[in-house]
């Protein structure tokens, strides 16, 4: 299950749209910002029914 979501880069603050695949359940991964190229940690949360609950973005150094 892939969904399009908009997040704000924790480095440059610019919003950008990315695809999130939540078919594997909760996960953490690194993806570079499409604007400033800094590494962003994505934390994907899935609810009990398997639906996307939340996408949190963090600086890689947090």
DSSP conformation letters of 30-56 = EEE-TTT--EEEEEEEE-TTS-EEEEE
pTM metric for this prediction: 0.87
- pLDDT per position as a tens digit, 3-59: 999 999 999 999 999 999 999 899 999 999 999 999 999 999 999 999 999 999 999
Over 90: is that where the pLDDT of 62 sits? Answer: no
Range of the domain at 43: 2-59
CA distance 44 to 26: 5
Structure tokens belonging to residue 17 = 């749209």
Residue for token pair 């399009």: 4
pLDDT value at position 2?
Answer: 93
The span from the CA of 45 to the CA of 51, in Å, is 9
Question: What is the predicted pLDDT for the residue at 61?
Answer: 80
Q: For the chain, how many structural domains are there in total? A: 1
Tokens matching residue 35: 């604007």
């Amino acid at each position: 299950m892939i969904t399009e979501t908009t997040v704000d880069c924790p480095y440059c603050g610019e919003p950008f749209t990315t695809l999130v695949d939540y078919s594997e359940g909760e996960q953490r991964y690194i993806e570079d910002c499409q604007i400033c190229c800094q590494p962003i940690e994505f934390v994907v949360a899935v609810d009990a029914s398997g639906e996307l609950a939340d996408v949190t973005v963090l600086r890689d150094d947090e």
